[in-house]
Amino acid sequence: MKKTIALLLLTSSLSTLLSAAEKYDTTAFRTFTKLCTPCHGTPFYAAKQIDDDDWEFYFEEDGKLLSIHKNKPKAIKNLKSPLFKKRKKRLLKFLINNSKFSGKVHGCDANFCGTRH
C-alpha cells in the first residue's frame, strides 16, 4: 500500500514538474531570436504586436511574409533559410500562443532576457 501511494505521489509530482518546466517552446524562441530579433525586438514583444488570426494569415498565405519583407535583403535571406523553413510551424505556434489576445504575459525568466543582436 505504501509503495502504491509513494509511486502515485512520485508520478504526479514528476508530471507537474515536467509540465511547469517549459512555459514556451524554447526552440521556436531561440529561432526567432536568431532570425528576427534584430528588426522585430524580443520574441514575446514581437508576438504581442498582432493577434493570432493575423499570425496565421502571414504564415499560411503563400509569399505573404516575403512580400512584407521585400525591401529588407537580410530578412529575405532569413525567410529563405533552411532553419526558418524547418521551424516555420513551431514559430507560428509560438507566436500564436504568445499573441496579442492570448492572455499570456511572459516576463524575464532569468534565461532569456533582453535582445540579442
User: Quick check: pTM over 0.85?
Assistant: no
Domain residue spans of the chain: 25-97
CA dist 77 to 2, 38, 48, 73, 94, Å? 60, 13, 24, 6, 21
The pLDDT value recorded for residue 15 is 66
The pLDDT value recorded for residue 14 is 61
- For the stretch 19-54, pLDDT in tens is 544 567 789 999 999 999 889 988 888 888 899 999
25 phi and psi, to 5 degrees?
A: -75, 105
- For the stretch 58-109, pLDDT in tens is 999 888 999 999 999 999 999 999 999 999 999 999 999 888 887 776 655 5
